Amino acid sequence: MKNILDTLFKPFRALGSLFGKIPWKTLANWVLVPFVLTGRLLVKLKRKIGATAFGQRLDKRWMKILTWSGEKPESINVASSLIAVFLGLLFGFVVMLVVDPSNAVSGFFTILFGPFQQGMRSVGDTIFYAVPIILTGLSVAFAFRTGLFNIGASGQLYVGAFVAVYIGVQWDFLGPTHWIVACIGAILAGAAWGAIPGLLKAFRNVHEVVVSIMLNYVSIYLVNLLVRSFIFNPTLNRALGPESSAHIPTLFLDNLFPRSSINIGIFITLAAVFLFHVLLNRTVFGYELKSVGLNREAARYAGMKEKRNITLSMTIAGGIAGLAGAMMFLVPGTYIRIVDVPLEQGFTGIAIALLGLSAPFGVLIAGLFYGGINRGGYFAQSLYREEIVNVIIAVIIYFSALSLFTKQVIAKYIRKRTKKDVQLQESKGDVG
């Protein structure tokens, strides 16, 4: 009986020991006390400034901002994302205080300003790392905006990456157009992989989440098989590297960002962001896609071909994820390896789409931010383990997922101050 009780209570004792090691007094001195003192100071400043003519003018400006925000629901969406980022960074700072209070401030600023740690080289590496994240975020966001959840971006990326590398290894006769053909092949492969859940959703009403999750693992083992069969390097247990003619060119960027890994993938990504923005917001086709996402039955009643639009939506989303695979692996020193887990970039795209409110330019900003703090986390490894960045990102995503609650709190505050009704625009497929 005693052994059974010891087994049952062992985890709780370990948890108690962990909490006992936390420097609560130091944590309070670093976080709670400054927070309370700052709050009191702000209240006093507000009262004193509010009684002056400057304070009254400031309050009128703030009221104008609140009134404008109440009339522009999209501004509340942006505010909810900014709050998510702020709370994520704050939580990460608290965790750093718990782990190592003496290095918390320096480590936090290292993470925050990581893209500038080594000057233009760090900026270039940050952009390079952000490119595939932005593209997978675009893939997920495009499906979100059309009422679909493309959780299979990882598989689409991996299939696109294999086709790009295969062309890069075997088709060296293409000359200067080698990398272009490899990118096109990656887009087509990703599009074909994305079309599978789209077709099943459109014609058999099979949920795209279930299909795309399973296809992620199918893609892993299929690519492993194809790599071993056609482009395998048995000595290093990985795929062969593409020919230099298949590498994404750098043009003049290697002069602007010396010794970094940046290439023209950022220009391709910017073109994709702009194209998706125009497609979704300035074309009839984009209007039909969003209409099907909002209400499939109503779109059908209005004469729109909802099955075609669902299929095309997942196909386009898969194509852009496939392009992300080309951007990742058509570079020197990066190889497809024999793995048994999905690539993290595909799942990170879901987080970026949430944080970017499923808007193309929002995804661009969110992807660059993610790349920045990851680069900062790399430099902060001398002080903290790299998992601290994952903690910060996770908290940001949690608060992004709670965006509806955050927006309701903001709307309630605006209503209270302006005495006007605020209509939040919530729609199926438009995350955030």
What is the per-residue pLDDT for 128? 93
Indicate the average pLDDT of the chain: 83
What would the mean pLDDT of 17-22 be, rounded to a whole number?
54
Q: From CA 352, how far away is CA 345, in angstroms rounded?
A: 10
CB-facing half-sphere around the CA of 190: CA atoms within 13 A: 36
Higher pLDDT, 326 or 10: 326
Ranges 35-44, 61-70, 137-146: which has the least confidence:
35-44
In this prediction, residue 312 has a pLDDT band, given cuts at 50, 70 and 90, of very high
Cβ neighbourhood burial of 259 (10 Å; 0-12, 13-18, 19+): exposed
Mean pLDDT for the stretch of residues 109-133 = 86
How sure is the predictor about 320, in pLDDT bands with cuts at 50, 70 and 90?
A: very high
CA 144/CA 125 separation, integer angstroms:
29
* Three-point CA angle 279, 396, 431, nearest 5°: 30
Residue 23: predicted pLDDT: 61
Confidence (pLDDT) at 78: 81
Q: Mean pLDDT throughout 322-332?
A: 95
The rounded percent of the chain whose pLDDT value lies above 70 is 85
- Position 432 scores a pLDDT of 36
Walk me through the domains of the chain, giving residue ranges and CATH numbers. 24-100+386-432 (no CATH), 123-372 (1.10.3470)
Q: What DSSP letter does each residue of 191-256 carry, written as one string?
A: HHHHHHHHHHHHHH---HHHHHHHHHHHHHHHHHHHHHHHSEETTTTEEPPPPGGGSPP-TTHHHH
* Residues contacting 26, CB < 8 A, separation 6+: 97, 101
Most confidently modeled of 14-18, 239-243, 355-359, 428-432?
239-243
Amino acid 193: pLDDT: 97
Q: How far apart are CA 145 and CA 358, in angstroms?
A: 7
Block residue for tokens 């893609």: 219
The tokens describing 52, both together, are: 């002056």
86-100, 291-305, 418-432, range with the lowest pLDDT: 418-432
Total-model pTM: 0.83
pLDDT digits 0-9 by tens, 149-171: 999 999 999 999 999 999 999 99
